[in-house]
Amino acid sequence: MFEDVIAKMNQEAVRNEVSSGDDKRTYTVDEIQDILGICRTSAYSLVKQNLFHCVRIGGRIRVSKKSFDEWLDALA
C-alpha cells in the first residue's frame, strides 16, 4: 500500500515537471498530509499553528515549500 502511494506521488511529480517546467514553490495541505503520513485533521492543525508560512488564495491554502522543508529538516 505504501509503495502505491509513493508511485502515485512520483507520477504526479513527473506530470507537474512536464507541465510546469520549473520547481514548485508551494505545497497543498493534501501534499503535506501525504509527505508526513498524517490525517487531514492533523495537517490542518499544523497549518493553524503557523509552524511554516502559509497563504490563503481564494478558498485554498498554499504552504511555502521552503519554509515547510526548513521546518521539517529542523525536526530531524
Average pLDDT over residues 4-25: 65
Backbone φ and ψ for 53, nearest 5 degrees, come out as: -75, 125
13 domain residue, yes or no:
no
Q: What's the Cα-to-Cα distance from 63 to each of 1, 12, 35, 45, 50, rounded to whole Å?
A: 26, 18, 13, 13, 10
- Does residue 22 have a pLDDT over 70? no
| CATH number of the domain to which 55 belongs | 3.90.105
The amino acid at 2: F
- The percentage of residues in the chain with a pLDDT greater than 70, rounded to a whole number, is 78
Answer whether residue 17 is part of any domain.
no
Q: Which domain holds residue 31?
A: 25-76
Q: Is the model's pTM score more than 0.75?
A: no
* Per-residue pLDDT at 65 exceeds 90: yes
